[in-house]
A and B are shown apart, each in its own frame.
Chain A
Amino acid sequence: MAAKVPPPAVTPEGGGAPDNGFERGSGFTADSGAVFDNGAEPDTGAVLGSGVVLDSGNSVPNRIQAVTELRLGRIIAAAIALLVTALIIYQIAINQTFRWDLVWLYLRDIVVFRGILWTLLLTFGSMALAIVMAVVLALMRRSDNPVLRTIGGAYVFLFRGTPIYVQLVLWGLLSVLWPRISVGLPFGPEWFSFSTQDLITAFWAALLGLACNEAAYLSEIVRAGLDSVDAGQSEAAYALGLTKWQTLSRVVLPQAMRVIVPPTGNETISMLKTTSLVVAIPFTLDLFYATSAIGNRLYQPIPLLLIAAFWYLVLSSVLMLGQHMLERKFGRGIAVSG
């Protein structure tokens, strides 16, 4: 490099003492396209290039201000993207079949609002149940007990390996498979029994179906979180005389939360949209079914689909905000320093 580069175009004159043994700005030359804002006035009081800043405080004495080049390729790419987007928006705006008037009319319909509430109830209810199940499953799969390990593994294999829609249809047919559910000793006397249809209504079938499926996915997340905690942490806890349960609940799980919370937030947002599949049960009160029902009644499915899409978008935006706040809370004490 030294052979090609001409002597620095900006050489210190006056103030910047060259006796520090460093060639000022070596490597940066005038033909590199950069302008040094202190080029003409090198008397900044700092010894440049030596790493020892004398009195420039926190300011960078030789901040680079590069000339912005116009790049034709970037401009063309942006223009094409804008054009395509504008065409799509235009087509949507002028297409009368969207019936924007109906969208506006039914956007705030009471049935739609009820659908939103049911959808939220399903989302949070099934997630809460799934989290509890997932922790149990993750512990089973990390257990020393080979029976628990195998059963936990088989559960995850089955519920992750089959489609949620198929599972939900099966949950809906539970009362066909077992018309009555009875409580008693296993293979022994029966104490009392219920009609399956009364005990597990469409709502509970939907909630259980969603939770059982989600638990399989969440258990992998919980397992990864537990594995992420250094083995020295449990050893230190055991050495202090803590039991396995105390070690898990007070030392390992709180630290695992940092790894568990972000993907669980994603799963919650995903669950919000998955609840639209409960029509398979069939459960008929959630947001998607409610809007579809109106659409079918009006022979106008498209505007009502747009309404459903709009509200799902609003709800997931709110959930994303919540997730962001949770992540900040659970990063505490580990990433924070100062």
Chain B
Amino acid sequence: MNTAHIAPSSSDAQVSMAPMVEVRNVYKEFGTPPNAILVLRGIDLTVPKGSVTVLLGPSGSGKSTLLRCINELETITGGAIYVNGELLGYREDHQGRLHRLSDKQIAEQRSHVGMVFQRFNLFPHLTALQNVMLAPTLVHRAHRAEATIDALTQLGQVGLSDRADHYPSQLSGGQQQRVAIARALAMKPKLMLFDEPTSALDPELVGEVLAVMQNLAAQGMTMIIVTHEIGFARRVASQVVFMDGGVVVESGPPEILDNPMHPRFQQFLSHVT
């Protein structure tokens, strides 16, 4: 794997004090109460601007669910999430009551948050270029010419300028995931969420995707990454959060990876590395 000596992006100058994401005592249950499954049990998390947060944990620990809640693909059952100071999903009136936002308003909130999925989820009926252009033309109503130029720039950023006219089925897994990253970046998001971006890739393709992400972190993008790549976390993370059973068990700077305090975290790391 490519071990470039890029300094973590969390240089003090880039991290301002106002957090990009604030997760406050968040609960999430699936199903209706008598048979409900509680997946998140009071999560608190603060993600400063320009920082990279890596979420670790065994499967079923709720880390992917938390990520999906931050992009409102799941609706939280309790607590509150703020992105860039804005409450997600609800409007609070002067009496403190919550009003659910309309679908359109939620779509608007989502447009500021990019998300990359484990299974890429590229649109198979569109070329790489059309995948990247679709949202800017529909959501930002960008002109076709401008959107094309911008999309080509984004594809260049992930090293795929020469694949613009290829359909997803004609690209390797690593290339598809890089197109997916370019597609998310084309919306000029304030925050990028990565849900196990390399888990569906062949081992020799993992490096190219991690390199793109590392480059993005170096440019100061705020990122939350669910991953099992401990080495990557060590190189890029500003903070590491270990979740298990729907709660945050341990969190701190990447150094905690070498010196885990909680026995559950120690056990997890001994299995992963």
Contacts and interface: CB of A to CB of B under 8 A. Distances in A.
Contacts of A246: 138-139
Interface string B89-131: 0000000000000011001101111110101011111110000
A240 B123 contact: no
Given A232-B117, A235-B121, A334-B124, A241 B134 contact: no
B111 A241 contact: yes
Nearest to B123: A251
A236 B195 CA distance: 12
In the complex, which of the residues B115, B124, B180 has the most CB atoms of chain A within 10 Å of its own CB atom?
B124
Contacts of B103: 243-244
What's the interface size class on B, roughly?
20 to 34
Given A232-B121, A255-B124, A333-B126, A242 B138 contact: yes
Contact of B119 (A232, A240, A242, A243): A232
Contacts of A336: 167, 169
Contact of B110 (A233, A238, A337): A238
B110 A240 contact: yes
A240 B123 CA distance: 12
A135 to B, nearest CB: 18
A294 B184 CA distance: 67
A188 interface: no
Contacts of B111: 240-241
Interface string B168-194: 011000000000100110010000000
A69 to B, nearest CB: 43
Contact of B113 (A230, A237, A239, A251): A239
B135 interface: yes
Interface in A183-240: 230, 232-233, 235-240
Interface in A295-321: none
In the complex, which of the residues B104, B107, B110, B139 has the most CB atoms of chain A within 10 Å of its own CB atom?
B107
Interface residues of A, number: 24
A153 interface: no
B107 A235 contact: no
A250 B113 CA distance: 20
B130 to A, nearest CB: 10
Contacts of A235: 73, 117, 121
B183 A240 contact: yes
B170 A241 contact: no
B154 interface: no
Contacts of B117: 232, 235-236, 239
Contact of A240 (B125, B135, B167): B135
B123 A241 contact: no
Given A233-B123, A246-B138, A255-B125, A241 B107 contact: yes
B222 interface: no
Given A235-B117, A336-B169, A243 B107 contact: yes
B71 interface: yes
A238 B135 CA distance: 10
Nearest to A332: B125
A230 B168 CA distance: 15
8 contacts: A239-B73, A239-B110, A240-B135, A240-B139, A242-B107, A242-B138, A333-B127, A334-B125
9 interchain residue pairs of minimum CB distance: A241-B111, A236-B121, A240-B135, A239-B115, A232-B121, A241-B139, A333-B125, A243-B107, A241-B110
Given A239-B113, A333-B127, 9 more contacts: A233-B121, A236-B115, A236-B121, A239-B114, A240-B110, A241-B111, A242-B107, A244-B103, A333-B126
Interface of B: 71-73, 103-104, 107-108, 110-115, 117, 119, 121-127, 134-135, 138-139, 167, 169-170, 180, 183-184, 187
